[in-house]
Structure 1
Amino acid sequence: MISREVQSDRKNKNIIGMIQSCLILILIVLIICMMIQINRLQGTARVLNYAGLVRGATQREVKLEITGEQNEELIKYLDDILSGLRYQDGHYDLVKLHDKEYQDKLQIQSDYWEKIKSEIGEVRSKGYQNTDIVNMSEIYFKMADETVFAAENYSEKIAIKIRTIEILSVFDMLCLIILIIMQTLEAMKMSIKNKQLEQKAYTDAHTGLPNKGICEMLLKEQETINEPTACIMFDLNNLKTVNDTMGHSAGDRLIMDFAKLLHSVIPEKDFVGRYGGDEFMAVIYHTSKTEIEELLKNLRREKDRLNSKKEQIPIDYAYGWAFSVGDSAHTMQTLLDQADSNMYENKQLCKDHKL
C-alpha cells in the first residue's frame, strides 16, 4: 500500500510539472508575440523619417512654384513617398503601419496633397497671388505634423507592448528558474535520502560496519583475484557464554567492542564487515603474508590491552586467513572458503588448548 507521504510527493511533483509546462507554454506564446511586435516595429523609423521628409519637401515645392521654378521630379518624388507610405510600394522600402489613427491622418494628408497639386496648376497659369497656395501649404504642414505624430504614437505603443512582453517573459523565466531550483533541491534531497536508506540497508545496526548483505555482494564477484589479497575470518569465541550469563545487552556490547577493535587495527583502505552473528570478515588488498602476520600481531596486542581493563568484557576470538597471489586463481568466494576452513581449525585448536 502506498504511504500518504509518497502519494503527497507524487501529487506535488504532478502539480509542479503542470505549472512548469504552463510556464513554458506561456513563454513560447510571449516569444511569438514579441516577434510579431518586433516585426511591426521594423521599418517604423524609416516611415517616420520619410513622413517628415514629405512635410519639408512639400514646403520646398511650394516655394519653388511661387518663384516660378517648376520641379516635376520633386512632385513625382512626393507622390512616390505618399504611395509607399499608404500601400507599401515604390522604391523606398517603406512599410504600411497597421494603425487606424495613422492611416486616417495619412489619408487626409494624401487627399489634401492632390488639392495642392491642383492649386500648383493654378499657380503656373495665374500666378501665386491669385491662388490660395500659401495658406494651403501651411494647412498641409500641420496635417503632415499630425501624421508624423500618429506614427510616433504607433511606434511608442509597439515599444510599450514589447517592454511589457519582456517584463512578462523575465517573470515567466524567473518562475521557471525557481521551479528548476526547487526540483533540483528536491532531487538532491531524494538522492541523499536514497543514499541514507541504502547505507542503512547495508550497514549493521549494532556495529556500524558493512552487514552481511555487503559481504555477500563482495563474495559474488566472480573475477579471479590478480593482486596479492588476503581474506581473514574471525569468530567471537565467548559470545554465547556472555549472552547466557550476562544478558544480550552485554553480548551486544562485546560485539561492538570487537568491531571497534577490528576497525582500529585494519587499515581504512581495506574492508571489514560483520558476516553474521559472531562472525566477521576482513579483506586486505595489495598486501603480503608478512603484513598479514604483523596485522594479526597488532590485533592480539590491542585485544590484550583492552582485556586488561577491569570494566572490559573479555574479548576472545578464533581466526583463519587465506592469501591469494596472481597465479593462485582464487575468487573472493574461494578465498573466503579457505579462510573459513582455517578459522574453524583455529577454533578447534583453541578448544583443545583449553581442555
Structure 2
Amino acid sequence: MEKEEQSYKKSKNIVGIIQSCLILILIVLIIFIMVDISRLQGTARVINYAGLVRGATQREVKLEITENQNDELIKYLDDILNDLKYQNGQYNLVDLQDKEYHDKLQILSDYWEELKKEIKAVREVGYQNTDIVNMSEIYFKMADETVSAAENYSERIAVKIRTLELLSVLDMLCLVILIVIQTLAAMKMSVLNKLLEQRAYTDAHTGLPNKDACEVLLNNKETVAKHTACMMFDLNNLKIINDTKGHSKGDQLILNFARLLRNVIPQKDFVGRYGGDEFMVVIYNTSKTEIEDILKQLSREKDRLNSSGNNMPIDYACGWAISDADSECTIQMLLDKADYYMYENKQAYKKSKKS
C-alpha cells in the first residue's frame, strides 16, 4: 500500500507538471488565435477597399470618356490608396504583413499616378487621342492581382487559425485525458484508502469492528440520544477452551459467538469486539423491553447451538445500561455501567460454578 501511495504521489506530480504545461500552451494558442482573428478581420476590410479601388477606377475612366469629370471620385481613390499604403487615413485600414501584397500595391499606386496623367490628357485632347482605355484594362488587372494577393494572405491566416484551433482541440483533449486519468487514479487511491481504513477498524478474525472502532464511539463526548443502550459481553469459558483444546478452538469459539451476536442484534446497531473475549454492543432508539427481548432471543439461540452437538458450548456474562429521559450520559458512561453489571454477572457465574 505504501509503495502504491508513493507511486500515486509521483505520478500525480508528473501529471500536474504536464497539465500545467498544457494549460500554458493552450493559453498561448488562444492568444495567437485571437491575434490572428483580429488580423483576419482587418484583412477583410483591406480586400474590400482594394476591390473598391478596382471598380471605382473603372467608373472614373468611363465618366472621363463620356466627358463627365469627377474630381471627388479621383480624391476618393487617392485617399483609399494612401490608406492602403500607409494606414493613416479615415478608413482605418490595417497593414498586411505580406511582401507580395505590398509589391502589388506599390505597382498599383505608381500606375494610378500614370493613369491620372492620362485622365488629365483626356480632358485636354479627348480620349480618342490617348491610351486611356488600354491603361484602364492594365490597371484593372493590376488591381485584380493586388486583391488576389490580399486574399491569398487572408487565406494563409485562415489556415493558420484552423491549425491553431486544431492544436487547441488536441491540447484540450490531452487535458481531458489527463483529468480522467487523474480522477481514476484518485478514485483508485480513495478505494484503497477506504479498504485500508476498513482494515484498520475491522477485527481480522471475526469481521466485526475492532477495539479501535469501539474507541471511536467511546471517545465521542457528545451526549447520546435518549433510549440508547450499551451492552457488554464476556465469554465465560474461553480460558478453559484454550487450556484444554488449544487456541485454535478458542478462536473458533470467539468466531461462533461473534456470529451469534451479529445474527441476533439488529443490523442497524453496532456490534464490536472490544477485547480478547469481550464484545461491545450499542443499540439505538430502543427500550428496556426490547433489550430484554434481545437478551432472551440471544439466550435461546445460544441454547439451540449448544444443544446441537456443539463440543465448544457458548457461555457468557452480560451487563447493559440504557439512557433515559431523566439523565444525560455519553457512550463511555453507558459502557462503564454495562461493564460494572457484566462484572457482577460474571462473579455470580463463578460463584455458581464453585457451589
Alignment TM-score, normalising by the size of structure 2: 0.96
Q: How far apart in 2 are the matches of 1:207 and 1:251?
A: 12
Name 1:61's counterpart in structure 2.
60
Query: How many residues are paired up?
Result: 354
CA contact (8 A) 2:226 2:285 kept: yes
For residues 261-272 of structure 1, the aligned pairs below 5 Å read: 261-272=260-271
Q: How far apart in 2 are the matches of 1:332 and 1:3?
A: 35
Name 1:19's counterpart in structure 2.
18
**Unaligned segments of structure 2, at least 5 residues:** none
| Structure 1 residues 312 and 117: CA distance shift in structure 2, 3 A | farther
For residues 253-264 of structure 1, the aligned pairs below 5 Å read: 253-264=252-263
How far is 1:46 from its partner? 2.1
**Unaligned segments of structure 1, at least 5 residues:** none
| Structure 1 residues 201 and 242: CA distance shift in structure 2, 3 A | same
How far is 1:332 from its partner? 1.4
Name 1:215's counterpart in structure 2.
214
Name 1:165's counterpart in structure 2.
164
Name 2:278's counterpart in structure 1.
279
1:317 aligned partner, one-letter code: Y
Name 2:317's counterpart in structure 1.
318
Q: How far apart in 1 are the matches of 2:262 and 2:7?
A: 42
> Which moved further from structure 2: 34-43 or 289-298?
34-43
CA contact (8 A) 1:225 1:325 kept: no
2:267 aligned partner, one-letter code: E
1:16 aligned partner, one-letter code: V
Root mean square deviation, CA, Å = 1.5
Name 1:84's counterpart in structure 2.
83
2:33 aligned partner, one-letter code: M
How far is 1:34 from its partner? 0.9
How far is 1:3 from its partner? 6.0
Residue 343, structure 1, aligned to residue 331, structure 2: no
How far is 1:43 from its partner? 2.4
> Which moved further from structure 2: 52-61 or 309-318?
309-318
Match of 1:268, SS state, is coil
Q: How far apart in 2 are the matches of 1:145 and 1:84?
A: 18
Name 1:97's counterpart in structure 2.
96
Match of 1:215, SS state, is helix
> Which moved further from structure 2: 173-182 or 214-223?
214-223
Q: How far apart in 2 are the matches of 1:287 and 1:259?
A: 21
> Which moved further from structure 2: 40-49 or 133-142?
40-49
Percent identity of equivalent pairs: 72
Q: Deviations over 1:159-199 (max 9, x none)?
A: 00000000000001110111111111111111111111111
CA contact (8 A) 1:306 1:312 kept: no
| Structure 1 residues 285 and 7: CA distance shift in structure 2, 3 A | closer
Q: How far apart in 1 are the matches of 2:229 and 2:16?
A: 52
How far is 1:22 from its partner? 1.2
Q: Deviations over 1:133-181 (max 9, x none)?
A: 1111111010001001001001100000000000000001110111111
Q: How far apart in 2 are the matches of 1:336 and 1:293?
A: 17
Residue 353, structure 1, aligned to residue 352, structure 2: yes
> Which moved further from structure 2: 345-354 or 28-37?
345-354
CA contact (8 A) 2:5 2:189 kept: no
Match of 2:96, SS state, is coil
Q: Deviations over 1:247-294 (max 9, x none)?
A: 111111111111111001111121110000000010111111111001
1:206 aligned partner, one-letter code: H
CA contact (8 A) 2:230 2:280 kept: yes
Match of 2:274, SS state, is strand
2:234 aligned partner, one-letter code: D
Q: How far apart in 2 are the matches of 1:226 and 1:196?
A: 30
Match of 1:173, SS state, is helix
How far is 1:5 from its partner? 4.6
1:59 aligned partner, one-letter code: Q
Q: How far apart in 2 are the matches of 1:13 and 1:216?
A: 35
Match of 1:276, SS state, is coil
Name 1:175's counterpart in structure 2.
174
Q: Deviations over 1:44-73 (max 9, x none)?
A: 222212211211111111111111111111
| Structure 1 residues 3 and 318: CA distance shift in structure 2, 3 A | closer
> Which moved further from structure 2: 49-58 or 270-279?
49-58
CA contact (8 A) 1:225 1:326 kept: no
Q: How far apart in 2 are the matches of 1:302 and 1:157?
A: 87
Name 2:197's counterpart in structure 1.
198
CA contact (8 A) 1:238 1:316 kept: yes
Q: How far apart in 1 are the matches of 2:261 and 2:3?
A: 42
